[in-house]
Structure 1
Amino acid sequence: MLSYQHAYHAGNFADVHKHLCTYAAAEHLLRKKSPITFIDTHAGRGSYPLTARETEQLQEYRDGVERLWKERRQLQDQPLLGQWLEALGALQEGERLVCYPGSPWWLGSRVRDQDRLTLFELHPGEHRHLAEQSVVAPEHEGKLRRVHGDGLEGLVKALPVATPRLCVLIDPSFERKDEYLEVVETLKQAMRKARHAVVLVWYPLLPAGRHRAMLEALGGSGIRKIWRSEVCREPPTHATHGMYGSGMLVINLPWGLDQALEAAIQRWLPVLGAQSSHRSSWLVEE
């Protein structure tokens, strides 16, 4: 199925959660000089103009990134949120929030001379947009590969990588229920080839609860050190349709990342809404 286009949902609260975690993980890894390969298995576009027809149709960004943008001066004292909002501001027109960057930019803008970035995108239209956009500094274009293909298959085939460190973002649309267990099988293969990899997996929290099968399967997969973060904009018991929450898994969680994210998310929650909540825990410990 190739119907999903993220432009309709760009900048929503789940994007904020996903990209805040991705940014934080990358920043933690970049504290060391040794090279990193970044891989994004479901890249989408590099950036999304908020005035585009698709984005304007649902305007999900208004309850997501726009709320944070309006409160950015009050949030500058929070280290992680302040840095994230400063990075976001580099793409805007002064005080105006005009676009929201996708994961290719959040990763690509961090790439250094010694690093590598591979972006997979299967949807032909989305890949075309990605190919036309700049997501790394001009001097780092040679460090970037854009691949029109299946990211889960591509990830396994790309391993092991040449660099000593690896960071992966897996972010499917989950339009098909089979995708949940496909992610688990991919992770099992990938972690056998690259046990040291830091892997982030995003998943939606929906009333149908299909993510639970994925979490249960991962719990029995033999993969260790899986940390879970879930942001809900309303209590699950109140949700009747649509996405009520956003989930992130981090395998091989960098030291201190959980505390940094917890502090940042707790500052975000009052901006997100009075009924919002966050819970984090180890899905699988060492």
Structure 2
Amino acid sequence: MLSYQHAYHAGNFADVHKHLVLFTVVEHLLRKKTAITYIDTHAGRGLYSLASEEARKLQEHREGIGRLWQARQRLAGEPLLGDWLAALARVQHGRVLDRYPGSPWWLSQGLRAQDRLRLFELHPGEHGHLAHQALPANARRIHGDGLAGLLQGLPAPTPRLCVLIDPSYERKVEYGEVAETVLKAMRKARHAVILMWYPLLPAGRHQALLDGLRDGGLRKIWRSELTLCGPGEGHGMYGSGMLVVNPPWGLEERLADAMASLVPLLGDGCRHQGSWWVPE
């Protein structure tokens, strides 16, 4: 099934959560000169117009990145949020928020000459859009299954590896597939930093991912969950989750400070919790 298109949801609260965590992890990794291979298993388009027909249909960005954009001057002095919003401003045509970048853009911004970026996208339409995005010479687009591609590309050609896994979870079995893939990948690259996004839905199917990783014996997994309301208060996605395997030192503290400023902007019911799912 390849019906999901992220253009309808670009810039929503889950994107803000996911990309802020990703930005923070990459920022930490870039403090060392050692080369990094980045792998994005579900890349999407790379850059989304908020004026597109898809984005205008649901306008989810208004309750996500739109709220931070309106507060950007006040947040400019924030050590993490200020830097993140400054990066976001570089992709706009002016002072108006008209575009939202996906993970390929966020990953490519910090790419150095010694690094590598591999972008997988299976959906033919989404890959077609990605193919028209400007990327550095050391970034490569691949039309294919990102989970399979991740395993096939190990060991990585560089000393360090950072992976983002961000499926649509259209199929219920994807939660288990992600857990199984990560367990296999960590056997080949035990020092890899792996980020996994998952939706918080009333059905609670994300628990299969959480339990699969823990029961598989994987250690050092940090969890961040941003919720807009409780699981029984709505019919759709009520929150966003991120897991980070081998999180860089200091990640938890930096994100906690950023979330303290971000959460009030997203509404009275919004909450963030960061904790170890599986300790070291």
| TM-score normalised over the length of structure 2 | 0.99
Tell me the residue number matched to 1:16.
Answer: 16
Tell me the residue number matched to 1:178.
Answer: 173
Which structure 1 residue ranges, 5 or more long, are not aligned? none
- The answer on 1:153 being equivalent to 2:148 is yes
CA contact (8 A) 1:45 1:130 kept: yes
- The letter for the 2-side match of 1:271 is L
State the Cα RMSD in Å: 0.8
Tell me the residue number matched to 1:90.
Answer: 90
SS of corresponding position for 1:222? coil
- The answer on 1:78 being equivalent to 2:78 is yes
Which structure 2 residue ranges, 5 or more long, are not aligned? none
Give the Cα–Cα distance (whole angstroms) in 2 for the partners of residues 211 and 77 of structure 1.
35
Cα deviation, 1:51-79, whole Å, max 9, x if unaligned, reads: 00111111100000010000011111211
Superposition pairs for residues 29-68 of structure 1, below 5 Å?
29-68=29-68
Q: Alignment partner for residue 269 of structure 1, among 234, 242, 263?
A: 263
Cα deviation, 1:70-113, whole Å, max 9, x if unaligned, reads: 00111112111000000000011221001000000000111011
Q: Alignment partner for residue 221 of structure 1, among 203, 216, 223?
A: 216
Q: How far is the alpha carbon of 1:219 from its aligned partner?
A: 1.2
Q: How far is the alpha carbon of 1:232 from its aligned partner?
A: 0.3
CA contact (8 A) 1:235 1:276 kept: no
Q: How far is the alpha carbon of 1:276 from its aligned partner?
A: 0.2
| TM-score normalised over the length of structure 1 | 0.97
CA contact (8 A) 1:167 1:199 kept: yes
Q: Calculate percent identity across the aligned residue pairs.
A: 62
Tell me the residue number matched to 2:190.
Answer: 195
Tell me the residue number matched to 1:232.
Answer: 227
Q: How far is the alpha carbon of 1:236 from its aligned partner?
A: 2.4
Cα deviation, 1:239-277, whole Å, max 9, x if unaligned, reads: 3x1100000000001000111011111110010111100
SS of corresponding position for 2:3? coil
Q: How far is the alpha carbon of 1:234 from its aligned partner?
A: 1.2
Q: How far is the alpha carbon of 1:281 from its aligned partner?
A: 1.0
